[in-house]
Amino acid sequence: MVDFTGKDILDGAQFTREELAHVLDVAEDMRKRLEKERSLDLMKGYVLGALFFEPSTRTRLSFETAMHRLGGSVVGFASAGTSSSAKGESLADTIRNVDQYVDVIAMRHPQIGSARVAAEAAESPVINGGDGAGQHPTQALLDLFTVRSERGHIDGNTIVLCGDLKYGRTVHAGAELYKHYDCKLIFVAPESLKMPPEITARLREHGANVEETTDLEAAMAGADVLYMTRIQKERFDDPAEYQRLKGSYVLTREMVERINPDLTVLHPLPRVDEITTDVDALPGAAYFRQARNGVYARMALIALVTGRI
C-alpha cells in the first residue's frame, strides 16, 4: 500500500515504481476534476508555505495555483531578500518558524542539501522545489506525467536528456525516476557538463540502459522524447566557461523535421537559446503543456503528503 502521509518529497531516488504510478494516477485524477470545476474543496483551511530563496516562475506559481485549486491558501516569499534570512536567520530557524503557521512547505534554495535541512527542522512535510544543483523531484514527476500523457505510456520509450546534465537538477531527479521503467536513456552533454558519474553508475547498477554521447543529432534519430535543458549559468564559478559552453546544443525546427518529426520535445523552462521559437508550433513541442501539468502533479503531491487523498 502506498501512503505518502507526512512524508517529505526531497529527491528522485526516494520513489519506488509503485509510488510513481500512484502519484501519476492522482495527478491524472486532478486533471480530470479540474476539467469539471475550477477548484476543489479538498484542502479548505489548509495552508501551504511557499518559501522561495531563489528565482522561480513556474515552480512557485504552479505550487501556489495547485494549493488554490485544492481549496487551500498560501503564504510565503519569492526571494531571500524579503525574508529574515537577509537579517542572518539560519534556514533551520526560518523553517521552524514557518512550520508553526502552515501544514505543508514547498521550498527552493540555492544550496544543495537545503531541502533535507528543512525537512529535519520541520514537523510538516517539506517538498523540495529545487536545492541548488541538487534535485528537483516535483519537476521530474511532472516531466514523467508529461511523457505518459504525450506518448501514452512510459515503458518502451527512448528518452534523450540534453544540455547541462552536470548542474541541471531536473535531470538529476528525472534520471532516478526513468530508471524504474523499461526506457533507453541517452545523455547528451558537452564533456565538462556530463551527468554526475555517481548518478549514471547508480542507474546502471539498477539495470538501466544508459548511453552517453556528445552527438545530439545521432541521439535524436531513434528517440521518442527529447528533454532539452538550459546551461545553468548561475552555477558556474568562471563566467568565461559559461560563455564557452552556452549555445552547445540548439534544437531547431529544421532538425526535428529532418531527423525525427515524431519527436516529443520537453523542456523544464526557462529556455534561453536551446530551442528556437519556430519549434513551438510543431505538434510534438510539449513544453507549455508540460508547464500546465505542473499544477496537476503538485496538486497530487500536496494532497498526498497532507493525507488528504
Residues that are catalytic? 58-59, 87, 108, 136
Task: For residue 298, state whether it binds ligand NCD (rule: CB under 6 A).
Answer: no
Please tell me the distance from the alpha carbon of residue 260 to that of residue 254, in angstroms, as a whole number.
10
Residue with cell 528533454: 227
- 77 — phi, psi (to 5°)? -140, 160
Closer residue to ligand NCD (CB): 248 or 260: 248
Note whether 243 and 281 are within 8 A (CB): no
Task: For residue 151, state whether it binds ligand NCD (rule: CB under 6 A).
Answer: no
Q: Which stretch binds ligand NCD (CB under 6 A): 70-78, 112-120, 194-202, 268-276?
A: 268-276
Closer residue to ligand NCD (CB): 57 or 90: 57
Build a one-symbol-per-residue string for 29-68: x at contacts with ligand NCD by CB under 6 A, - elsewhere: -----------------------------xx---------
Q: Which stretch binds ligand NCD (CB under 6 A): 33-41, 64-72, 85-93, 264-272?
A: 264-272
Please report how close the Cβ of residue 261 comes to ligand NCD at its closest, in angstroms.
26
Q: How far apart are the first and last CA of the chain?
A: 13
Residue with cell 545553468: 232
Q: Which stretch binds ligand NCD (CB under 6 A): 13-21, 150-158, 195-203, 267-275?
A: 267-275
Please report how close the Cβ of residue 309 comes to ligand NCD at its closest, in angstroms.
24
Task: For residue 172, state whether it binds ligand NCD (rule: CB under 6 A).
Answer: no
Closer residue to ligand NCD (CB): 49 or 294: 294
- CA nearest neighbour of 133 among 158, 108, 111, 162: 111
Please tell me the distance from the alpha carbon of residue 304 to that of residue 6, in angstroms, as a whole number.
8
Closer residue to ligand NCD (CB): 230 or 308: 230
Please tell me the distance from the alpha carbon of residue 231 to that of residue 216, in angstroms, as a whole number.
15
Environment class of 277 (CB within 10 Å of its CB; exposed 0-12, middle 13-18, buried 19+): exposed
- CA nearest neighbour of 194 among 209, 214, 176: 214
Build a one-symbol-per-residue string for 118-147: x at contacts with ligand NCD by CB under 6 A, - elsewhere: ------------x-----x--x--------
Please report how close the Cβ of residue 97 comes to ligand NCD at its closest, in angstroms.
25
Of positions 151, 166, 230, 298, contacts ligand NCD by CB under 6 A: 230
Cβ atoms within 10 Å of 243's Cβ, excluding its own: 11
Cβ atoms within 10 Å of 279's Cβ, excluding its own: 22
Q: Which stretch binds ligand NCD (CB under 6 A): 23-31, 255-263, 265-273, 298-306?
A: 265-273
Please tell me the distance from the alpha carbon of residue 186 to that of residue 209, in angstroms, as a whole number.
8
Please tell me the distance from the alpha carbon of residue 187 to that of residue 163, in angstroms, as a whole number.
9
- Show Cβ contacts of residue 146 under 8 Å, excluding neighbours closer than 6 positions: 266, 286, 289, 290, 293
Task: For residue 248, state whether it binds ligand NCD (rule: CB under 6 A).
Answer: no
Positions touching ligand NCD (CB under 6 A) are 58-59, 130, 136, 139, 169-170, 229-230, 268-270
